Amino acid sequence: MHGTGSDKTQGQTIPGATPRLTDPYGRPITYMRVSVTDRCDFRCVYCMAEDMTFLPKADLLSLEELDRVCSAFVRHGTRKLRITGGEPLVRRNIMRLFRGLSRHLHSGALDELTLTTNGSQLAQFAEELYDCGMRRINVSIDTLDPDKFRAVTRIGDLEKVMAGLEAAKRAGLQVKINTVALKEVNEAELTSILAWCGDQGFDMTIIEVMPMGDIGGEDRLDQYLPLTTVRRSLAERWTLTDIDYQSGGPARYVRVEETGQKLGFITPLTHNFCESCNRVRLTCTGTLFMCLGQDDAADLRAPIRASADDALLDEAIRAAIARKPKGHDFVIERGRHAPAVNRHMSVTGG
């Protein structure tokens, strides 16, 4: 039977597992986000520069190497894997990775295998994703206006994404919509997006702009819309009740009483989520970032390629987690044009 994200196996010791990873502040590492490519078929204005230079294919981990790192983390007690990009579904033969990792759902070693996508390829892959044991996906949509959607993504087609969402629903995938709050772009539309999510049966998460990477001369402060302001605005239309729901990620959730759906807020700037951080991020090149908002990282590609067994890889993973910082350094302020970290979100993983 496929895994469904149940808590039944939380905290259980998996036969053959190595000791669980815990950082210097006592936080267990149970969630890894894995970027399988830095490439994307969109160029979202808050994520990338319009004229991006992507990594040479030779620098990327192979699908087999990605499986090996993910499996090492599962062995160390990671219970949730989220595949990201760039746009993960543009990676050639990516379903081979999903099919391989699904064995950890079957064994009970993994609670959830999931995906963050822009939705452009969902019409093609939705059924196969479900067949691999995936039950929930996140789809990034920042506006329901087709012209504005093309402007925000620079090249995206909203109609194609909507077709992908319909395919996901038919396949049985539970969809959550991720929306980045952008000042003077979609702030007046957030209420209508929330209403649409209610009609569709989708949960929604609203995310503050993160100061990562050069996006082509735009000032992050011109994009930044604090979610304290967003929540006050939404509360004028909707009844928002705080709930204890945890998805395994950084969002804090409320229930929208009028629709019954959940609404999450990810607030790295106005209210950071570092105290409960259980996450690490692996890039498509095998670089492990212990914190999204710090530049310290560990190279896992070298130990993978140095030995056919996992002793060196396990050692590198343990050493990396021992350096996980207490919190990030994100800040947005007038006159500070440089990003908090230089890498683009598409490199680290959305």
Residue 272 is predicted with a pLDDT of: 53
Q: Which two tokens stand for residue 253?
A: 């959730």
Query: Over the Cα atoms of the chain, what is R_g?
Result: 19
Enumerate residues 6+ apart whose C-beta is below 8 A from 130: 171, 172, 173
CA distance 83 to 71: 13
> What is the predicted pLDDT for the residue at 19?
72
Set out the domains of the chain in order of their start, with CATH numbers.
Answer: 31-348 (3.20.20.70)
Q: Is the peptide bond before 86 cis (omega within 30 degrees of 0)?
A: yes
pLDDT for the residue 249:
74
Q: Are strands 136-140 and 112-117 parallel, antiparallel or unpaired?
A: parallel
Residue-level pLDDT at 347:
54
Exposure b/e, 213-245, CB count within 10 A at least 16 = b: bebeeeebeebbbbbeebbeebeeebebeeeee
Q: How far is CA 20 from CA 67, 186, 227, 284, 321, in A?
A: 19, 42, 34, 24, 11
State the pLDDT at residue 331: 45
76-122: pLDDT as tens digits: 999 999 999 999 999 999 999 999 999 999 999 999 999 999 999 99
Say what the pLDDT of residue 48 is. Answer: 77
Low-confidence ranges of the chain (pLDDT < 70): 1-18, 210-222, 268-273, 328-350
Nearest to 203 by CA among 259, 144, 135, 261: 261
**Residue range 3-12, pLDDT digits in tens:** 444 333 344 4
3-state helix, strand, coil split of the chain in percent (to 5) is: 35, 20, 50
Separation between Cα atoms, residue 266 and residue 251, nearest integer Å:
5
Q: Residue 10: its pLDDT value, please?
A: 40
